[in-house]
Amino acid sequence: MATLLRADPTFYASPRLAAQAPPETLAYILIVNPGDGPDGLATLDADRGSKTYGTVLNTLTTTYAGDELHHFGWNACSSSLCPYAAHPHVERRYLLAPGIRSSRIYVIDTKPDPRAPRIVKTIEPEEIANRAGYSRPHTSHCGPDGIYVSALGSPTGDGPGGIFIIDHDTFDVRGRWELDRGPQYLAYDFWWHLGYDTMVTSEWGTPNMIENGVNPEILLKGGYGHQLHIWDLPKRRHRQVIDLGAEQQMVLELRPAHDPSKAYGFVGVVTSLKDLSASVWAWYQEGNTWKARKVIEIPAEPADPQQLPPLLKGFKAVPPLVTDINLSLDDRFLYVSCWGTGEFLQYDVSDPFNPKKTGSVHLGGIVRRAAHPNSGALNGGPQMVEVSRDGKRVYVSNGLYKAWDDQFYPDGMKGWVAKLDVGDNGGIELDRRFFVQSEQRFHQVHLEGGDASSDSYCFA
């Protein structure tokens, strides 16, 4: 990979400076094929002045079938400007797209033609297994010293899951990140507080626990993830467990404060065994200890069992199923996707322990099937969410994970991605000009030049 003489212009020392960056003109979104064919990456026109705004400009098809592309990320970002960064002159050029089913990772080059990216390398599952002992890569983040990738489990489909490192220049797998994992066994997402030398990880389940859909027996026993793990980032050692309680099942997306001087963040919990509610918790440092408390609770909605999939009929309610959250770069607005009810929520979290609801939109939902202004009834619900660097635009898509999509939406799922505009003082409104549907399923969105979940910063 080429080395720049100057830092990449899309790197910003602080979130405040990043928020002043030019608006994105392109959005990249992963495509998951619901059948037997390969997946892909679509390039969407996000330039509001363009005649093709809100349409698919190009589709890259991957090499193999059966990957199920999941959470992808940039090879390098603003963390490269940290004082101790090992690679200050790499560029934001490549997207790493992991297959959560195949354990294969595609390295995709966006530079020759940003509208038509191309695959330049494939990291095979054997390399990940042999060098790191992991499989089912899930999430990648560009760190100051390498590309970090979480994995759900071992090559046999059991645990433990964890994190491995990919070299920025060669894209070779370096090896497993953890030197001492302590009691950590389940894995899912990870993020960090670079200013506090701290990593936080969350829990879902091993591949064998999730690949055939939600297992009611495991769920009702509280067997899915319900803990946060605190790590010493430079020493790569486990420090602390924060247990949210076994009733809090599936502790998923982590969103730390973007301001590196702040020691708090938010995590979404999919469901509570007590009442099918979903929740958002804030983690924070108090002295030398990290703690967490529930700050948002979203109740289940009563429903006619005839309108519910088999898994939910006995509960006579549709759960919110919070499957993704995202935080604006100014740490002001938190966005919450309720994939079950179809509600997309905005909260003012200027005071992170007292969120205030400031916006709500419905799209899809297990029962409601709320329409977009440009559509008929929709299935799926807001799932993956991405926020522009200036916080004025939000993108949502409806694909979660094929086995789970089919379980909660058994009549089939048509993929869609929508965009919302954000008011200066809060509030969200659907952009009538930006709505894309497909027979294939859309998963995560990332934006040209970076977005609210791409970068981490070392300066306030």
Distance in angstroms (rounded) separating the CA atoms of residues 171 and 107: 8
Give the number of domains in the chain: 1
Output the CA–CA distances (angstroms, integers) from residue 288 to 47, 123, 238, 239, 283, in the order listed: 46, 39, 14, 11, 13
User: Residue 37 is part of a domain; what is its CATH number?
Assistant: 2.130.10.10
Distance in angstroms (rounded) separating the CA atoms of residues 161 and 204: 10
pLDDT score, position 26: 98
- Flag whether 8 is in a domain: no
- Flag whether 10 is in a domain: no
What is the domain range of residue 432?
Answer: 15-447
**Cβ of 234: how many Cβ atoms within 10 Å?**
11
Distance in angstroms (rounded) separating the CA atoms of residues 47 and 9: 19
Q: Return the structure tokens found at 48.
A: 């509001």
Q: Does residue 59 contact residue 31 with C-beta atoms inside 8 Å?
A: yes
- Flag whether 454 is in a domain: no
Report the SS3 class of residue 33.
coil
Helices (H) and strands (E) in the chain, counts: 5, 30
φ/ψ of residue 129, rounded to 5 = -65, -45
C-beta pairs of 14-20 under 8 Å, 24+ apart in sequence? 14/457, 14/459, 14/460, 15/258, 15/259, 15/329, 15/330, 15/331, 15/457, 16/329, 16/330, 16/460, 18/78, 18/329, 18/389, 18/450, 18/455, 18/457, 19/329, 19/330, 19/389, 19/390, 19/391, 20/390
- Flag whether 48 is in a domain: yes
User: Phi/psi class of residue 449: alpha, beta or left (left: φ > 0; alpha: ψ in -120 to 50)?
Assistant: left
pLDDT score, position 290: 98
- Flag whether 315 is in a domain: yes
- Flag whether 60 is in a domain: yes
pLDDT score, position 88: 74
pLDDT score, position 86: 82
Distance in angstroms (rounded) separating the CA atoms of residues 341 and 370: 10
Q: Does residue 73 contact residue 446 with C-beta atoms inside 8 Å?
A: yes
- Flag whether 345 is in a domain: yes
- Flag whether 4 is in a domain: no
Mean pLDDT for back-to-back runs of 10 residues, the chain (460 residues)? 73 97 98 96 98 98 97 97 87 97 98 97 98 98 97 98 96 98 98 97 98 96 98 98 98 98 98 98 97 98 97 96 98 98 98 98 98 95 98 98 96 96 97 97 97 97
pLDDT score, position 1: 53
pLDDT score, position 4: 61
Output the CA–CA distances (angstroms, integers) from residue 247 to 161, 213, 228, 251, 269, in the order listed: 21, 19, 14, 11, 10
Distance in angstroms (rounded) separating the CA atoms of residues 31 and 41: 6
